[in-house]
């Protein structure tokens, strides 16, 4: 029973950590550094422009199975591999979150009805006014947006 509780605690900690990492990477790397002209993260603004132009859809997801995003997630998973020595459950939660992130973000930009209904905070981030684009950093779940006070609902979402 103690092992089960310990495993559950490590999994929750891993998911909490990943949500925070998702928030920081999206805000700091993809937006703050991505705005700079010669940034390696400039592609993120191309993604925003495509989504805005196509009412939320990003056509690149239809034509590319391997994206910069999936490569970046793989690098993060490999970078965090030493955490398996501390807790395999923490690491497995991170791997699961990374795969879930890739699934959710891709589906979001290909299935717009699902996107609006299921992930309204990310819809707000892409389709809302500037104050929503410069907020709503979480993709999979808005926990850290609520913790950090950056959840900004757009008028047409719940």
Q: What is the DSSP string of 57-106?
A: --THHHH-SS-HHHHHHHHHHHHTGGGGGT-HHHHHHHHHHHHHHHHHHH
pLDDT at position 62 is 80
114 token code pair: 């699902």
Give the global pTM: 0.91
Residues 6+ apart with CB under 8 A from 148: 23, 137
Question: Is the confidence at residue 64, as pLDDT, over 90?
Answer: no
Question: Is the confidence at residue 158, as pLDDT, over 60?
Answer: no
Q: For residue 114, give the H/E element and its range.
A: helix 112-118
Chain segment 15-39, per-residue pLDDT in tens: 999 999 999 999 999 999 988 889 9
- The lowest-confidence range among 14-28, 100-114, 144-158 is 144-158
């Amino acid at each position: 029973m103690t092992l089960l509780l310990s495993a559950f605690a490590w999994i929750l900690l891993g998911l909490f950590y990943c949500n925070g990492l998702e928030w920081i990477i999206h805000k700091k790397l993809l937006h703050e550094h991505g705005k700079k002209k010669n940034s390696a993260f400039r592609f993120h603004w191309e993604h925003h422009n495509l989504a805005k132009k196509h009412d939320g859809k990003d056509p690149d997801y239809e034509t590319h199975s391997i994206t910069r995003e999936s490569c970046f997630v793989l690098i993060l998973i490999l970078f965090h591999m030493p955490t398996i020595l501390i807790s395999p459950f923490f690491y497995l939660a991170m791997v699961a979150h990374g795969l879930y992130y890739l699934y959710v973000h891709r589906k979001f930009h290909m299935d717009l009805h699902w996107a609006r209904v299921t992930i309204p905070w990310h819809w707000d981030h892409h389709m809302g006014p500037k104050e929503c684009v410069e907020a709503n950093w979480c993709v999979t779940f808005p926990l850290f947006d609520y913790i950090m006070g950056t959840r900004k609902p757009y008028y047409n979402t719940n």
